[in-house]
A and B are shown apart, each in its own frame.
Chain A
Amino acid sequence: MPSLERRAQPSTMMMFASPVIAAVCMLITGYLLFTLLGKEPLHAFWVFFIKPLTSAYGIGEWLLKATPLILCGLGLAIGFRASVFNIGAEGQLTMGAIAAGGVALHFQGLETAPWLIPLMMLAGILGGMAWAVIPAFLRTRFNTNEILVSLMLVYVAQLFLGFLVQGPWRDPDGLNFPQTVMFTSAETLPLLMEGLRTNLLFVIAIGLVALSWFFSHKMFAGFRMQVSGLAPAAARYAGFSEKRNVWLALLVSGGVAGLAGMGEVAGPIGQLQPIISPGYGFAAIIVAYVGRLHPLGVLLASLLMSLLYLGGETAQIDLGLPSAVTGLFQGLLLFYLLAADIFITFRFKAANHPVVPVQPVTTALPEEQS
């Protein structure tokens, strides 16, 4: 049996190659899956990955769906780099949507109010942050696991949204549907181009990619967080505060997730409904890892993931496949990426070679502090 041998140095080449390997493996699995389901695989691939992008409208939808993934992915990546595992972005997104929707409902009926959209953005950010404050406070004050707390809060946020649209915020003329009134044009994000649904938030998300890169690579606070993730002992020795990192990571990721929620209700949806996201907050976890926790990587991974969402919808219509195939591919992609990542720090070695003692790997690998 071949065994693993640690590389003298992590392979930079493999760092960039492994997402590609993962994507190829996902495609191969897709090929098998489509064959198994009795679909012509090449046609299915075309429907899934090419057809959605053959029209200007399709490209607009692609960028529209990428927007919340970019936003949530950027925020999560900042935290993951510092070993702060906020996995409740879905809940923070929901609270952002509720806060922004609340502002829209409060100022309902205003025809021209250029300040309303910025105010809704602010409300969205604050709503997401408020939800992220809870795991941040409990972790820093009571040492409570932020993974479990942020996740429990997803369910609470979704139930709260359900309560609002069923009860106090329900549209009285909505034929008893659990939804609020439609937002007016003053409460909807301006579109980038006539005929497309892509809106202003996509541009903001691209701007945040640049800002996030600047923060992570040029600012001391970003460096401090990186060190805390890679070498907690060194960070403690240097006097970097763990609590500050937890707060920073959760507030930033909560804020951008909230902004993403605002973007959904003030964008394509245009009102509050019981369900406002097909799991963007969870898909963003995959985005962050596939994007190598790097802002530019997050951008590319978001485009890939939003194509999966879009392709899933096209495949549902054209091939009669359940839309859940999207989630299946998303999960597979992360599996393959994690598996391919082993070649960054290890290489395979034939077993019959004499074994040279290498340094023990009992401590976690650089990227594995948890």
Chain B
Amino acid sequence: MITDQLIPIFSSTVAAATPLAYAAYGELVTERAGVLNLGVEGMMLVGAIAGFAVTSHTGSLALGFSAAIIAGIALSLIFAVLTLTLQTNQVATGLALTLFGVGLSAFIGKAYVGMSLDGLHRLNIPVLTDIPFVGSLLFHFDILVYGSILLLFALQWFFNRSHWGLVVRAVGESPASAHAIGYPVIRIRYLSILFGGAMSGLAGAYLSLAITPMWVEGMTAGRGWIALALVVFATWKPMRILLGAYLFGGVTILQFYGQGMGVHVPSEILSMLPYIVTIVVLVLISRNPKTILLNQPMSLGQSFYPHT
């Protein structure tokens, strides 16, 4: 039956999309405040190993995910201190953060290679999950999948309806003006970067604790960079991040179902798809300079140092 295939394809699409969505939400907030953090891949990797290590020692998934969030925050704090307090170049510092994160996670992870553990379970919501078809299609995910949807609405509300959301946007558009009105630009940028770090850490742990509950060196395989591309794709709007994440999630799982559906293409070629699709989508979005220029925060990537 077609429905027998549809449900696993849909649920693995959502699973593949969820870490992308979290990481991209985090980067979205960071970029809306005018800061370009290219260290997402590194923060995800450190989050992945921190989550895995803590869960394998304590047996608690909650502690694992918390550790991943803390690890992501710690790494992004390095980035924040360097770029905000010490005024370093954001592009170079972000690249450094990724290189550092790749090294650090491999270093810590050496002891955990080959281990596996009991990962995050899907929820069985009483009544709802038992509805035929729809129940297993929509109400049979783990809690973080629902969290990613809730977070979308929270971000929508934050940027469009709340006072501080407006302030974050103002800081990203014109830090000098925001500073002149009296908003603490540096503090807001710190918090935005730390939020980005927390979300990247969580996204990384979703890989090592939910999708494939184990640690593999470099297991993010470029998902951090795809998350960065998603923010451009979404033209800095939360709603389109989730859409984009599902699109990329779908492309990512194509490689697993491609062969089963009788497509005779070598697996390496199918694995290229997410990266190629990312490039194609970036081209389509960037082609029209207006979409980018109108939506991109004006001060993105530029340092700002207030003189009191």
Chain A residues in contact with chain B, CB under 8 A?
4, 85, 87, 134, 138, 142-145, 147-149, 151-156, 159-160, 162-163, 166-167, 282-283, 285-286, 289, 322, 324-332, 334-335, 338-339, 341-342, 345-346, 355, 357-358, 360-365, 367-368, 370
**Chain A residues with CB under 8 A of B272:** 155-156, 159-160
How many residues from B make CB contacts under 8 Å with A? 57
Across the two chains, which residue of chain B brings its CB closest to A152? B275
A283 to B99 Cα, complex, angstroms = 8
B86 (CB) vs chain A CBs: closest residue: A342
Chain B positions 64 through 91: 1 when the CB is less than 8 Å from some CB of chain A, otherwise 0? 0000000000000010001000111111
Closest residue of B by beta carbon distance from A138:
B283
Sample of 8 further A-B pairs with CB below 8 A, known A159-B269, A370-B36 = A87-B95, A145-B286, A152-B279, A166-B268, A167-B266, A324-B110, A331-B99, A346-B87
Does B252 count as interface, using CB distance less than 8 angstroms? no
Kindly provide the distance from the CB of A367 to the nearest chain B CB, expressed in whole angstroms: 7
- CB-contact partner of A342 in B78, B87, B276, B286, under 8 A: B87
**Shortest CB–CB separation between residue A46 and chain B, in angstroms?**
21
Do A138 and B266 have beta carbons less than 8 Å apart?
A: no
Counting from the closest, the 6 A-B pairs by CB-CB distance are A327-B103, A331-B100, A324-B106, A163-B268, A322-B110, A334-B96
Q: In the assembly, what is the distance between CA of A147 and CA of B90, in Å?
A: 13
Q: How far is the CB of A2 from chain B (nearest CB, A)?
A: 11
Q: How far is the CB of A368 from chain B (nearest CB, A)?
A: 5
Q: What 1/0 flags go to B245-288 for Cβ under 8 Å of A?
A: 00000000000000000000010110110011011001100110
Out of A138, A155, A328, A367, name the residue touching B89 (CB < 8 Å).
Answer: A367
Residues of A within 8 A of B275 (CB): 152-153, 155-156
**B269 with A148: CB separation less than 8 A:** no
Chain A interface SS verdict (over half): helix
Question: Provided the pairs A144-B283, A322-B107 are in contact, do residues A370 and B301 lie with their beta carbons within 8 angstroms?
Answer: yes
B217 to chain A, nearest CB (A): 8
Q: Is B210 an interface residue when CB atoms closer than 8 A count as contact?
A: no
**6 pairs, CB–CB < 8 Å, chain A vs chain B:** A87-B95, A155-B275, A156-B276, A330-B103, A362-B175, A370-B89
Chain A, Cβ-Cβ closest to B102: A327
Contact of A151 with B225 at beta-carbon distance under 8 Å, contacts A156-B272, A289-B92, A370-B301 already known:
yes
- A182 CB to closest chain B CB (Å) equals 23
Query: Is B221 in contact with chain A by the CB < 8 A criterion?
Result: yes
Known: A143-B292, A286-B99, A370-B301. A155 touches B222 (CB 8 A): yes
Verify A335–B95 contact, CB threshold 8 A. no
- Nearest B residue to A358 via CB reads B307
Instruction: Contact check, B110 vs A327: say whether CB atoms are below 8 A apart.
Output: no
Complexed CA–CA distance, A327 and B38 (Å):
17
* B268 and A327 form a contact (CB under 8 A): no
**A367 vs B95: C-alpha distance in the bound complex, in angstroms?**
16
On whether the beta carbons of A149 and B103 are closer than 8 Å, the reply is: no
Interface-central residue, A160, A355, A370, by most chain B CB under 10 Å: A370
Complex contact B95–A285 (CB within 8 A): yes
**With a CB–CB cut-off of 8 A, which chain A residues contact B303?**
361, 364-365, 368
> Once bound together, how far apart are the Cα atoms of A145 and B233, in whole Å?
12
A331 CB contacts on chain B under 8 angstroms: 96-97, 99-104
Q: Given A144-B283, A156-B275, are A162 and B268 neighbors across the interface (CB < 8 Å)?
A: yes
Residues from chain B with a CB closer than 8 A to the CB of A138 are 279, 282-283, 286
Do B107 and A327 touch (CB < 8 A)?
A: yes
What is the chain A residue whose CB lies nearest that of B36? A370
Contact with A along B101-133 (1 / 0, CB 8 A): 111101101100000000000000000000000
Q: Is the CB of A142 within 8 A of B99?
A: no
Determine the distance from Cα of A160 to Cα of B272 in the docked complex, in whole angstroms: 8
Contact across chains for A338 and B268 when beta carbons are under 8 A apart: no
Q: How far is the CA of A149 from the CA of B283 in the complex (A)?
A: 9
Does any Cβ of A come within 8 Å of B199's Cβ? no
- For B292, the chain A residues whose CB sits under 8 A away are 143
* Given A159-B272, A339-B86, A149:B99 Cβ within 8 A: no
Q: Are A335 and B107 in contact (CB under 8 A)?
A: no
Contacts of A144 in B (CB 8 A): 279, 282-283, 286-287
A113 to chain B, nearest CB (A): 31
In the complex, B194 has a CB within 8 A of chain A = no
Complex Cα gap A236–B104 (Å): 42
A368 to B83, CA, bound (A): 11
Cα-based distance from A275 to B104 in the complex (angstroms): 21
Instruction: Kindly state whether residue B232 has any CB partner on chain A within 8 Å.
Output: yes
**Is there contact, CB below 8 Å, between A357 and B307?**
yes
A143 touches B289 (CB 8 A): yes
Report if A362-B222 is in contact (Cβ < 8 Å); known contacts: A152-B275, A327-B107, A328-B103.
Answer: no
Q: Does B93 contact A (CB under 8 A)?
A: yes
Nearest chain A residue, comparing its CB with the CB of B93: A338
Q: Report how far A329 CA is from B102 CA in the complex, Å.
A: 11
- One digit per residue, 1 when the CB lies within 8 angstroms of any chain A CB and 0 when it does not, for chain B 183-222 equals 0000000000000000000000000000000000100011
Identify which of A4, A149, A327 contacts B305 (C-beta below 8 A): A4
Report chain B residues within 8 Å CB of A341. 88
Most buried by A among B90, B110, B217, B286: B286
Contacts of A358 in B (CB 8 A): 307
**How far is the CB of A264 from the nearest CB of chain B, in Å?**
19
